[in-house]
């Protein structure tokens, strides 16, 4: 059969040959290869090896060729923590720590609408895809004005990213000692009912799933222990429904745990039943606060995962997470960009670079964390945290989720003395301007030549998003003007 050029069509072929990859990192170990090709069939990596040894039977099939001779190819990046709607409120409460930051933003978020969620999700997903992310989570924990988790799912389906939407929730308002205003609080029965609806409607437990639902009561200071327990029980009625929440983010968070919850972290997790390998936790900056290894060992022994979000932790002055200790003790760690109001962007490579720098500063050791180690955190580490065994590395039988990075980008200049240096430049040489040139999810190109494929246009997506952001600010302003005086 005649092979078609990848540039001649915008259709999505099911058989693709990534040909003559200049530099390949499979994500399995530290080794880096040249002159390799990869054959993907129906979304699954079928074969990889030296280009000269491609089986003739594959070459005879009808397939599309993507020329990778000037590309570094890596597994797709995996984002383990996000709040996509927050891109509507970037750069606000700029000098605040977590609780003050939340209390400033809750009154704005109260005016979110389904349309705003759709526009912001589309923007955040496009931003992630263009920076090489192929699988993302998103924790949506506020549901005012008819907002539904479905609003984020439709955006993911439109753009083609692999998605783990997390049905978040806040159920403890200020009048019950929680942090969020009462107006944003949902009833527990309603939350649980919606969680079940979403699992029944969207959750795919099989390998290769494009959508898996996770259940995510927001945090100890905004969701009740009852909801934590009931959501864990609900998740475990199904296969591969994961559980996610925020934990030990900063000192105030720990203080709340001590004075209001009145339990240690491990007592709290035991009592909630959040002590199994289907749980992962955002931040865990203070996991070592008691200066003992108790919490860290607990995480390692039970297979609990951590979403490491270093940029958000810096922006909110939360602290530096003890990532090297976690890795030494075999705790599962993935990378997360966290919400775009505490980052204020969504770029996993920037996150990886920050993780590397902070780990070295914290330990005062230049070998505390290597570029390959943070890249593993952003790929196979994330897959392990999310309970996925079908993504995160490039290997026959795994999903066709991978990224091509142009080697003539400034980030790689001067690093061609070895393939290991080229790979490291993805983290060390990237000042934040590197964009993915080619992104494949489920065997389909979703980014080509640095642009979203099909009818999607980043400028238009951004314009629509910015309009929604201005509408949100306007609604909040009008509500505050019209608020009756007490
Ligand atoms: Zn978060």
At 233-278, the pLDDT tens digits run: 999 999 999 999 999 999 999 999 889 889 999 999 999 999 999 9
* Structure tokens given for 14: 């099911």
Q: Is the pLDDT assigned to residue 2 strictly greater than 80? A: no
CB atoms within 10 A of CB 237: 9
The percentage of the chain sitting over the pLDDT mark of 90, rounded to a whole number, equals 88
Rg of the chain's alpha carbons, rounded to an integer?
Answer: 22
Percent of the chain with pLDDT over 70: 96
Alpha helices (runs of H) in 284-347, residue ranges in sequence order: 294-302, 310-315, 323-328
Q: Kindly give, in sequence order, each residue whose CB lies less than 8 Å from that of residue 301, ignoring residues fewer than 6 positions away.
A: none
- Dist. CA 464–CA 92, nearest whole Å: 20
Which residues, 6+ apart, have CB-to-CB distance to 205 below 8 Å?
212, 238, 239, 240, 241
Give distance in angstroms: CA of 351 to centre of ligand 1: 14
Taking the centre of ligand 1 as the mean of its atom positions, its distance from the CA of residue 66, in whole angstroms, is 37
Residue-by-residue DSSP string for 213-266: -EEEE--TTTS-HHHHHHHHHHHTTSSS-EEEEEES-SHHHHHHIIIII-S-HH
How many Å apart are CA 453 and CA 464, to the nearest integer? 18
Does 299 or 257 have the greater pLDDT score?
Answer: 299
Distance 124 CA to ligand 1 centre (A): 14
Could you tell me the distance, in angstroms and rounded to a whole number, from the CA of residue 305 to the centre of ligand 1? 15
The angle formed by the CA atoms of residues 329, 312 and 87, to the nearest 5 degrees, is 135
Mean pLDDT score, 437-461: 96
* Separation of CA 188 and ligand 1 centre (Å): 21
82 CA from centroid of ligand 1 (Å): 6
- Is 162 within 8 Å of 147 (Cβ atoms)? no
Please name each of the domains of the chain with its CATH number.
4-75+394-452 (2.30.40.10), 77-385 (3.20.20.140)
Q: Give, to the nearest 10 degrees, the angle between helix 294-302 and helix 265-272.
A: 30
Q: How far is the CA of 233 from the centre of ligand 1 (A)?
A: 23
The per-residue DSSP string of 55-100 comes to -HHHHTS--EEEE-TTEEEEEPEEE----GGGGGGTT-STT--HHH
**Which of 454, 466, 455, 447 minimizes the C-alpha distance to 120?**
466
> Is the pLDDT assigned to residue 486 strictly greater than 80?
no
Mean pLDDT of the 161-186 span: 95
User: Is the model more confident about 4 or about 20?
Assistant: 20
Q: How far is the CA of 14 from the centre of ligand 1 (A)?
A: 36
What 235-238 contacts at long range (C-beta under 8 Å, 24+ apart), as own/partner pairs, is 235/278, 236/278, 238/199, 238/203, 238/205
Task: Kindly indicate the confidence band of residue 485, based on its pLDDT and cuts at 50, 70 and 90.
Answer: low
Pairing of strands 133-140, 451-452: unpaired
User: Tens digit of pLDDT for each residue in 338-352?
Assistant: 988 889 989 999 999
Start-end of H helices in 83-146:
98-109, 114-130
For ligand 1, the distance from its centroid to the CA atom of residue 73, given in whole angstroms, is 30
pLDDT band, residue 81 (cuts 50/70/90): very high
Dist. CA 81 → ligand 1 center (Å): 6
Cα of 338 to ligand 1 centre, how many Å?
Answer: 5
pLDDT for 445: 96
Three-state SS at 448: strand
Ligand 1 centre distance from Cα of residue 282 (Å): 6
Task: Classify residue 417 by burial, with Cβ atoms within 10 Å: 0-12, 13-18, 19+.
Answer: exposed
pLDDT of residue 484: 62
Given this model, what pLDDT does residue 416 score? 97
Find the 405 Cα to ligand 1 centroid distance in Å.
29
Res. 482: pLDDT tops 90 = no
Q: Ligand 1 centre and the CA of 248: distance in Å?
A: 11
Structure tokens at 75: 């597994």
Q: How far apart are CA 247 and CA 283, in angstroms?
A: 6
Dihedral over Cα of 398, 348, 387, 441: its sign: negative
Distance CA 470, CA 473 (A): 5
Distances (CA, A) of 277 to 7, 233, 265, 306, 338: 43, 14, 16, 11, 21
Measured in Å, residue 309 CA sits from the centre of ligand 1 at 9
Backbone angles phi, psi at 45, to 5 degrees: -70, 120
CA of 278 to the centre of ligand 1 (A): 18
pLDDT at 5: 45
Q: What is the ipTM of this complex?
A: 1.00
CA–centroid distance, residue 20 to ligand 1 (Å): 40
d(C-alpha 417, C-alpha 429), whole Å: 14
With residue 164 as reference, give the H or E element that holds it: strand 162-169
pLDDT in the model for residue 13: 53
Q: Which range among 94-103, 121-130, 145-154, 192-201 shows the weakest confidence by mean pLDDT?
A: 94-103
pLDDT score of 10: 41
Q: What is the pLDDT of residue 1?
A: 40
How close is the Cα of 34 to the center of ligand 1, in Å? 39
In the chain, the largest separation of any two C-alpha atoms, in whole Å, equals: 79
Q: How close is the Cα of 215 to the center of ligand 1, in Å?
A: 14
Distance 90 CA to ligand 1 centre (A): 14
The closest alpha carbon to 163, from 37, 78, 105, belongs to 78
Ligand 1 centre to CA of 466 (Å) is 22
User: How far does residue 178's CA lie from ligand 1's centre (Å)?
Assistant: 17
Beta bridge partners of 334: 307
How far, in Å, from the CA of 136 to the mean position of ligand 1? 13
pLDDT at 483 over 80: no
Mean pLDDT score of the chain, rounded to an integer? 94
Q: Count of alpha carbons within 13 Å of 430, Cβ hemisphere only? A: 28
Q: How far is the CA of 339 from the centre of ligand 1 (A)?
A: 6
- 320 alpha carbon to ligand 1 midpoint, in Å? 15
Q: Are 22 and 2 spatial neighbours (Cβ–Cβ below 8 Å)? A: no
Question: How far is ligand 1, taken at its centre, from the CA of residue 478, in Å?
Answer: 28
Peptide bond into 344 cis (omega under 30): yes
Return the structure tokens found at 303.
């297979």
Q: Is the pLDDT of residue 6 over 80?
A: no
């Amino acid at each position: 059969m005649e092979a078609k050029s990848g540039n001649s069509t915008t259709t999505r072929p099911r058989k693709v040959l990534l040909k003559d990859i200049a530099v390949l990192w499979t994500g399995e170990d530290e080794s880096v290869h040249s002159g390799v090709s990869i054959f993907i069939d129906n979304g699954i990596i079928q074969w990889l090896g030296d280009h000269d040894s491609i089986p003739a039977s594959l070459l005879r099939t009808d397939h599309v060729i993507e020329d990778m001779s000037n590309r570094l190819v890596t597994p797709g990046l995996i984002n383990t923590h996000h709040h996509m709607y927050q891109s509507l409120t970037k750069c606000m409460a700029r000098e605040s720590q977590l609780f003050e930051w939340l209390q400033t933003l809750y009154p704005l978020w109260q005016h979110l609408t389904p349309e705003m969620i759709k526009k912001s999700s589309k923007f955040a997903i496009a931003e992630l895809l263009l920076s090489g992310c192929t699988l993302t989570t998103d924790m949506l924990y506020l549901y005012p004005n008819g907002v539904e988790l479905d609003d984020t799912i439709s955006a993911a389906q439109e753009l083609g990213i692999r998605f783990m939407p997390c049905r978040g929730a806040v159920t403890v308002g200020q009048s019950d000692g929680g942090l969020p205003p009462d107006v944003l609080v949902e009833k527990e029965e309603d939350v649980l009912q919606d969680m079940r609806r979403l699992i029944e409607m969207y959750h795919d437990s099989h390998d290769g799933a494009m959508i898996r639902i996770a259940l995510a009561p927001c945090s100890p200071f905004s969701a009740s222990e009852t909801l934590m327990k009931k959501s864990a029980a609900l998740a475990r009625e199904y296969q591969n429904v994961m559980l996610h929440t925020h934990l030990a983010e900063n000192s105030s968070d720990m203080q709340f745990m001590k004075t209001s919850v009145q339990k240690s972290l491990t007592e709290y997790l035991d009592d909630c039943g959040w002590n199994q390998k289907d749980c992962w936790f955002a931040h865990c900056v203070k996991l070592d606060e008691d200066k003992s290894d108790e919490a860290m060992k607990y995480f390692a022994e039970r297979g609990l995962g951590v979403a490491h979000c270093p940029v958000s932790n810096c922006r909110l002055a939360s602290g530096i997470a003890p990532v090297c200790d976690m890795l030494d003790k075999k705790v599962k760690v993935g990378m997360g960009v966290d919400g775009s109001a505490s980052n204020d962007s969504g770029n996993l490579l920037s996150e990886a670079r920050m993780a590397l720098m902070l780990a070295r500063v914290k330990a005062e050791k230049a070998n505390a964390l290597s570029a390959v180690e943070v890249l593993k955190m952003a790929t196979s580490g994330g897959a392990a945290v999310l309970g996925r065994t079908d993504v995160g590395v490039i290997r026959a039988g795994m999903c066709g989720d991978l990224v091509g990075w142009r080697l003539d980008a400034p980030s790689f200049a001067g690093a061609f003395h070895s393939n290991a240096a080229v790979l490291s430049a993805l983290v060390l040489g990237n000042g934040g301007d590197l964009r993915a040139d080619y992104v494949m999810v489920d065997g389909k190109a979703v980014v080509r030549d640095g642009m979203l494929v099909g009818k999607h246009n980043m400028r238009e997506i951004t314009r629509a998003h910015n309009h929604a952001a201005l509408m949100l600010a306007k609604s909040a302003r009008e509500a505050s003007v019209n608020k009756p005086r007490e």
